Chains A and B, each alone.
Chain A
């Protein structure tokens, strides 16, 4: 309750400062909340950008595809590197080093390979989401108690059953953290990809409004995108809480 009040106060303060600063600044570069609200209304009523639903839907689909690929590839790579020690020792440090490279440096070549359409956005979202998931799985495999694997094998578990019944539950905690980070980065990858160059999607709309100096529309679009990002993170945190309750 106290936290909620404080949060509300902080939000109000930020809006007030924004309003004052926005009124003082050049309206082409900055807009106060009082100007954003009508723009947001026009946006949501599909007056300013009638293709908002289509763009939003496209972005959501790109994120879903990128995330699904990142989860599948991250799990497979992490488990493979974790279970085969030689492979892990060979590739693990290289993965960590690649993760440290700012991923945006790969984007130009991704656009060359995959073109301006959805494929390059999915590829970029995948690239960002893949590393934290893989590294979380790799760290998670190390937490698995090898004795439990022996027990499972003694009771007839094959490799798949060992992964499903021993490894995944053992590393759930780490895994869920990695999956959450991976989702956040997938979202970032797709939207950044759209902003850097796309024909459609939320990023393309943002780029359009920004390029035409329609600053109020631009801020309204950013707010909608923000809602999408916050929504996906809330969903992820709910899943994380459930997983946590389950392991404890």
Chain B
């Protein structure tokens, strides 16, 4: 945990237990992390390891049982779209709104005047690759387009932090790779801090500046890998091959445990 990064996000000793019908489940136990400004920070780990819970806490949608989370020095008390924008695995577009109106949602909820939020949303559509689709409804869009609209909705409110919970998890491999390149481009231009959840080693290695590997439930931080290489990266470089092997050995162990 290097203070020199300028901690934008501090997670301190956070635990969470869910009460289910089959008894209590420890989702997270004593998780601590610090993420600096403009990092592309990826959380990876077996299913059910509490990654989404952790992201939900940062977004103010889930409250921890113990420990605390600070964003820009202030404890997270609830959803705060001025600091944090979330992209979910399910795009969650409102079916009765057009692509443009969906992008406007956050601004609308903040009470931004109609003309202004329309302008912001319209300016976002072209870089999102949705120039001709402003008036289309979600059911008329492909999976990748829907997710880009959802990302547009997150970018529109111009929060410093972008939380992305497996945003490309439901897309096919090719679309997923292209969306990754596209997101990298957005990240480089906006310098946002991205907390990214994925199951894909490939995605984690190509995109992140750091990757945190989480343990099987109860989720803890097992290891944090630094990925200092420049983008775009090649999976064939010796550095990447070595990192891939290291990452896989960390994850493999936990995935095996999670399967048992």
User: Chain A: residues with CB nearer than 8 A to chain B?
Assistant: 145, 147-148, 150-157, 161, 165-166, 169, 172, 246-247
Contact = CB atoms under 8 A, between A and B. Distances in A.
5 closest cross-chain pairs (CB), A and B: A151-B92, A155-B106, A156-B81, A154-B86, A156-B109
B96 A147 contact: no
A224 B234 CA distance: 82
* Chain B contact surface mostly: loop
Contact of A166 (B60, B86, B94): B94
Nearest to A150: B61
B90 interface: yes
Contacts of A172: 96
B206 interface: no
Contacts of B157: 155
A152 B105 CA distance: 8
13 contacts: A147-B88, A147-B90, A148-B92, A148-B94, A150-B92, A152-B105, A154-B60, A155-B105, A155-B153, A156-B79, A156-B80, A156-B109, A166-B94
B167 interface: no
A165 B80 CA distance: 18
* Chain A contact surface mostly: helix
A165 B59 CA distance: 20
A155 B81 contact: yes
B96 A154 contact: no
A247 B106 CA distance: 21
Contacts of A145: 92
Of residues B81, B90, B109, which shows the largest number of chain A Cβ atoms within 10 Å of its Cβ? B109
Contacts of A147: 88, 90, 92
Contact of A154 (B59, B94, B110): B59
B90 A154 contact: no
Nearest to A155: B106
Given A147-B88, A150-B61, A151-B88, A156 B110 contact: yes
Interface in B87-142: 88, 90, 92, 94, 96, 105-106, 108-110
A247 B86 CA distance: 26
Nearest to A158: B109
A166 B88 CA distance: 17
Contacts of B108: 165
Contacts of A169: 94, 96
Nearest to A157: B109
Of residues A148, A153, A154, A165, which shows the largest number of chain B Cβ atoms within 10 Å of its Cβ? A154
